[in-house]
Structure 1
């Protein structure tokens, strides 16, 4: 009889433990379900906000704006030791402080920059972007914030002394850059080049490396980049030949229907010029 009572009590105790465990698991499951539902709801809300922003053309409604850039374009925007830095990156940080917008720089294929912008993969092109009449057909541009020119750079001991000496030489540049377009526009010179135009690379640093090892006779590119690169290398192994085409200007590009973002960026640039922010960042990167 005592054994039967003990067995019954034991079964009851085990049952209580099992029931408590089941209730605990149910509680955890409910908590996890609530968390999952909450996360899904937040993600859905964020996606809806982004979709609404894209449909309305107002990307300022987004929590974070994606900026397309070439992460080798020194000193405007580049990656070094895992950190994104540069003139345009500092300018964007100043814009965050003054406008409340948030920017995230994302490396892109520079030859696809306008496509990335107009398909909504990025919200702005902000990386030493020179504006041209052709580009204005695809994007809306802010007021300019820096002057630029297309510079021809050679090694110090190169026989190339003038722009006329470029005929028949191998000239390197970045694909879909204003520099490459400027060279091609000089039809007389372009006709003399191997292949009828510049030797194209996906980034300027690759073009410059080929200049250094002798696979190219000259590089044509943005003056801010080539001069910064030469200075970082010590400056005494390169020589400037001259500039080609007209002077151009850097702007921030957004989608043509994104008027709210364009207005905010223009307002920021106007303030940055007036209060010395632009001068401070310029001195930091160009001394």
Structure 2
């Protein structure tokens, strides 16, 4: 009898603790709504996230993030991060989401709660246009010195191919290295290359050549966060009502959009 009473008391205590724990556990969505701000971790990465002439963050990702913030009823704050520290920034709650043309690598998927893929992309080699004809595949560029963004898919591609490379803070820095002649080539995202180099851009004398990888972009939240599912639902709605296509067309990435 005593054993039965003791077991009952222990069970009651356990249920009480569980109930208290569930009441105190706050979802990520509630956390963001309560503080009134969605903090988006980014780098300067056209056409995903970059500043207009007035210093405001715009781009395909920035515009979509603003739409999600509006749906949540919170302000959206864009914070430039060291891309190599994106997982640490999330876990420390310095940011709430990584939304910056992020390739869905195994490391990313294992460390973050990721959305479904929403854009197709590739890693491409960028060289001076005057010599582009000499470098059309992965083998032909092996002897070049590369600049890459630390922690990026471009850096991974350089490692996988055994290239000689220097890691920098951003893809934009890598492009500047090639333009300045400090590096012979760089590896950046195809979507960035389309917006940033070639005729009519800031770097008309650069061209992209060899395509080293194909990949998909996703949006990263804290592991276990309910924000990822919420963003999935919002992106699905934006796709259906034409919002995604309209924003994508503005930034020239409409052909890369993945249907939810």
Quick check: TM above 0.5? yes
Counterpart of 1:185 (choices 157, 160, 183) is 160
Superposed, 1:36-51 pairs within 5 Å as: none
Cα deviation for residue 94 of structure 1 reads: 2.0
Is 1:167 the counterpart of 2:142? The answer is yes
Q: Decide whether the 8 Å contact of 2:124 with 2:212 is kept in 1.
A: yes
Conserved 8 A contact 1:142-1:265: yes
Identify which of 163, 177, 184 aligns with 1:217: 184
Q: Please state how far the C-alpha of 1:235 moved relative to its aligned partner.
A: 6.8
Q: Residue 272 and residue 166 in structure 1: after superposition, are their counterparts in 2 closer, same or farther (change >3 A)?
A: same
1:43-62 alignment, distance < 5 Å = 56-62=26-32
**Is 1:281 the equivalent of 2:256?**
no
Distance 1:53 1:133, change over 3 A: farther
Give the gaps of 5 or more residues in structure 1.
1-51
Q: Displacement, 1:236?
A: 4.6
Paired residue total: 225
Task: Provide the rounded CA distance (Å) in 2 between the counterparts of 1:155 and 1:181.
Answer: 22
* Alpha-carbon contact 2:135-2:210 (below 8 Å) kept: no
Q: 1:54 to 1:76 in 2, by over 3 A?
A: farther
Post-superposition offset of 1:101: 4.4
Per-residue deviation at 1:252?
A: 1.1
Structural RMSD (CA): 2.2
Alignment of 1:24-43 (within 5 A): none
Distance 1:82 1:127 in 2: 17
Q: How far is the alpha carbon of 1:160 from its aligned partner?
A: 2.9
Query: Tell me, which stretches of 5 or more residues in structure 2 are unaligned?
Result: 1-21, 254-260
The answer on 1:204 being equivalent to 2:176 is no
Asked whether 1:84 is paired with 2:57, we answer: yes
TM superposition score normalised by structure 2: 0.79
Deviation at 1:149, TM superposition (A): 0.6
Q: Which protein is bigger by CA-based radius of gyration?
A: 1
Q: Within the alignment, does 1:272 sit opposite 2:255 as a pair? A: no
Determine which of 73, 76, 88 is the counterpart of 2:45.
73
